[in-house]
Amino acid sequence: MTKLSVNINKIALVRNARGGGRPDLVRAATAIERFGADGITVHPRPDGRHIRPDDVHALRRVLSTELNIEGNPTEAFVSLVLEAAPAQVTLVPDAPDALTSNAGWNTLAHRDFLSGIAARFRERGIRVSIFVDPDPAMVAGAAACGADRVELYTEAYARRYAADREAAVAPYVAAAEEARRRGLGLNAGHDLSLENLRYYLERIPWTDEVSIGHALVCDAWIYGMENTVALYRRQL
């Protein structure tokens, strides 16, 4: 079954908006694990508006499932990941002032850079995933960079799903088939939700993991976190 990694950035964002320690990020993450998630994802950014380096270390000490740290591999980010040694790192080319991730890597243009970064993480036994648009050429490029997996950026799928779900998913099927041909593991994330997740996985059932944060946390305000995690697992 496809694994569910819950991105807890929005929980940290609420905490930071008021200051102090509520909600307690570690308590929230361990509860999410207990409710059935297969992993926790965090995406620290340079401005510290949600996840902070001390959060990463605190989570690493207590989590019993996989920790996935995603972000732009600046030297500070690389150092943080090497110190924390999570199960997985996901390389995302977001600008320092980006509101949210909005594009995948051009793995052909940045091959030398990504290859060097991937090698540093793999030497520490950290699984490397590269965030890419649903383009078979970019998937092939990620394989050439030494990635273990790719994460397909699913914003375009989510945006087009209601109008024409078959057209929306078609580029992702092609990219996922290329990943399978290249022997790459396959992740997906960005704007996946209770409405569009099941169909995506019906078409690409070999997806290893989905990373879901914003929609899941929004749903939890209505349904409660324990019930929401169960609802998402049901879609898997």
Is residue 25 within 8 Å of residue 55, measured between CB atoms?
yes
pLDDT at residue number 138? 98
pLDDT band with cut points at 50, 70 and 90 for residue 94: confident
What CATH number is associated with residue 158? 3.20.20.70
Number of domains in the chain: 1
Give the residue carrying structure tokens 């569009």. Answer: 196
pLDDT at residue number 27? 98
pLDDT higher than threshold 70 for residue 99? no
pLDDT higher than threshold 70 for residue 98? no
pLDDT higher than threshold 60 for residue 133? yes
- Report, as residue numbers or ranges, the catalytic residues: 43, 70, 190
pLDDT higher than threshold 80 for residue 107? yes
- For the record, the structure tokens of 184 come out as 């790459």
pLDDT higher than threshold 90 for residue 48? no
- Domain extent at residue 124: 3-235
pLDDT higher than threshold 70 for residue 23? yes
Beta-strand runs (E) in 124-168? 127-132, 149-153
Element (H, E) at 229: helix 225-235
Q: pLDDT of 187-219, one tens digit each?
A: 999 999 999 999 999 999 999 999 999 999 999
pLDDT higher than threshold 80 for residue 102? no
Per cent of the chain over pLDDT 70 is: 97
Is residue 87 within 8 Å of residue 68, measured between CB atoms?
yes
pLDDT band with cut points at 50, 70 and 90 for residue 97: low
Pick 90 or 48 by higher pLDDT. Answer: 90
